[in-house]
Chains A and B, each alone.
Chain A
Amino acid sequence: MSASSQDNALRSAIYWRALIYTLLIVIAVIYLAPLFVMVVTSLKSLDEVRLGNMMALPLQITFEPWIKAWGSACLGLDCNGINGYFWNSIKMTVPAVAIGTLLGAFNGYVLTKWRFKGHNIVFGMMLFACFIPFQIVLLPMSQVLGWLGLANTTSGLVMVHVVYGLGFTTLFFRNFYEAFPDELVRAAIMDGARFFTIFWRILLPNSGPIIVVTVIWQFTNIWNDFLFGASFADFDSQPMTVALNNLVQSSTGVKEYNVHFAGAILAALPTLLVYIVAGRYFVRGLMAGSVKG
Chain B
Amino acid sequence: MKQLVDRAPSYQADEKRSDKAIGWLQDHLPKLVLAPSFTVILLFVYGFILWTVYLSFSASKMLPNYKWVGLEQWDRLWNTLTWSTALDNLFIFSSLYIVLCMLIGLFLAILLDQKIRLEGGLRTLYLYPMALSFIVTGTAWKWFLNPGLGLERTMHEWGFENFKFDWLIDSEMAIYTVVIAGVWQASGFVMAMFLAGLRGIDNEILKAAQIDGAPAWRIYTRIIIPQLGPVFMSAFVVLVHLAIKSFDLVIALTGGGPGNATAMPATFMYSYSFTRNQIGVGASSAVFMLAIIAAIIVPYLYSELKGGRK
- Which residues does A use to contact B, with CB under 8 Å? 17, 20-21, 23-24, 27-28, 30-35, 37-38, 41, 53-55, 103, 106-107, 109-111, 113-116, 120, 122-129, 131-141, 143-144, 163-164, 166-167, 170, 182-183, 185-186, 189-190, 192, 194-196, 220, 223-227, 230-231, 241, 244-245, 248-249, 257, 260-261, 264-265, 267-268, 271-272, 274-276, 279, 282-283, 286-287, 289-293
A111 and B5 CA atoms in complex are apart in Å by 11
Give the docked Cα–Cα distance between A290 and B286 (Å): 23
Contact with A along B135-160 (1 / 0, CB 8 A): 11101111110000110011001100
Contact B133 A292, beta carbon cutoff 8 Å: no
A283 to B127, alpha carbons, bound, how many Å? Answer: 8
Given A33-B144, A135-B269: A291 and B5 interface contact (C-beta under 8 Å): no
> Shortest Cβ distance from A18 into chain B, in angstroms?
12
Write out the residue numbers on chain B whose beta carbons fall within 8 Å of the beta carbon of A132.
Answer: 45, 49, 290, 293
Return the chain A residue nearest B38 by Cβ: A122
Q: Is the CB of A24 within 8 A of B9?
A: no
The residue in A38, A109, A167, A185 that gathers the most chain B C-beta atoms within 10 A of its C-beta is A38
Tell me, yes or no, whether B87 is within 8 Å of chain A by CB.
no
Contacts of A133 in B (CB 8 A): 244-245, 266, 286, 289-290, 293
* Chain B nearest CB, measured from A5 CB (Å): 15
Across the interface, do B150 and A290 meet the contact criterion of CB distance under 8 Å?
no
Cβ A226 vs Cβ B33 within 8 A = no
Docked pose: A286 CA to B161 CA in angstroms: 43
Minimal beta-carbon separation of B186 from chain A (angstroms): 10
**B40 touches A (CB below 8 Å):** yes
Q: A24-B111, A126-B41, A195-B30 are in contact. Are A186 and B131 (CB under 8 A)?
A: no
Whether A120 contacts B135 in the complex (CB less than 8 A), given A23-B111, A126-B38, comes out as no
Contacting pair B31 A116 (CB below 8 A) = yes
Of B170-178, B203-211, B218-226, B298-306, the segment with at least 4 beta carbons within 8 Å of chain A is B298-306
Q: When the two chains form their complex, are residues B154 and A53 in contact, meaning their CB atoms are under 8 A apart?
A: yes
Of the candidates B128, B144, B286, the one whose C-beta lies within 8 Å of that of A275 is B128
> Separation in Å of the A183 CB from the closest CB of chain B?
8
Q: A34-B137, A34-B144, A115-B5 are known contacts. Are A131 and B34 too (CB-CB below 8 A)?
A: no
With most chain B CB atoms within 10 A of its CB, the pick from A27, A38, A230, A260 is A27
CA distance A291 to B237 in the complex (A): 10
CB-based contact A136/B116 at 8 Å: no
Q: Choose among B55, B141, B149 the residue that contacts A54 (Cβ–Cβ < 8 A).
A: B149
CA distance A195 to B252 in the complex (A): 48
The answer to whether B141 touches A32, judged by C-beta atoms less than 8 angstroms apart, is no
**Chain B positions 6 through 45: 1 when the CB is less than 8 Å from some CB of chain A, otherwise 0:** 1011011001000000000010011101101110111011
Q: Which 5 A-B pairs have the closest CB atoms?
A: A293-B304, A114-B30, A224-B133, A34-B140, A275-B131
Closest beta carbon of chain B to A291's beta carbon, Å: 5
List B contacts of A32 (CB < 8 A): 125
* Nearest CB on A from B40, distance (A): 6
Are the C-beta atoms of B192 and A116 separated by less than 8 Å? no
Chain A residues near B163 (CB-CB < 8 A): none
Interface membership of chain B positions 277-310, coded 1 if the CB is closer than 8 angstroms to chain A and 0 otherwise? 0010011011101100110011011101100110
Q: How far is the CA of A31 from the CA of B131 in the complex (A)?
A: 13
Given known contacts A106-B34, A134-B245, A286-B192, is B282 in contact with A139 (CB within 8 Å)?
yes
Q: A33-B144, A136-B49 are in contact. Are A128 and B8 (CB under 8 A)?
A: no
**Does A271 contact B143, Cβ atoms closer than 8 Å?**
no
In the complex, given contacts A136-B48, A290-B235, what are 17 additional A-B residue pairs having Cβ atoms less than 8 angstroms apart?
A23-B111, A24-B112, A37-B144, A106-B37, A124-B301, A125-B38, A125-B42, A133-B290, A138-B286, A139-B55, A139-B279, A139-B283, A140-B55, A224-B133, A226-B248, A241-B136, A293-B301
Residues of chain B in range 87-133 having any CB-CB distance to chain A below 8 Å: 108, 111-112, 114, 116, 122, 124-133
CB pair B193–A290 under 8 Å, yes or no, is yes
- How far does the alpha carbon of A120 sit from the alpha carbon of B306 in the complex, in Å? 10
Query: Closest Cβ of chain B: how far from A168's Cβ, in Å?
Result: 12
Closest A residue to B150 by beta carbon equals: A54
Judge whether A31 and B26 touch: CB under 8 Å.
Answer: no
Q: A163-B44, A293-B300 are in contact. Are A139 and B273 (CB under 8 A)?
A: yes
Q: Which residue of A lies closest to B200 (CB)?
A: A291
Contact with A along B170-208 (1 / 0, CB 8 A): 000000000000001000110011001000000000000
B residues within 8 A CB of A163?
Answer: 40-41, 44
Q: Please state if B132 and A272 are interface contacts (CB–CB under 8 Å).
A: yes
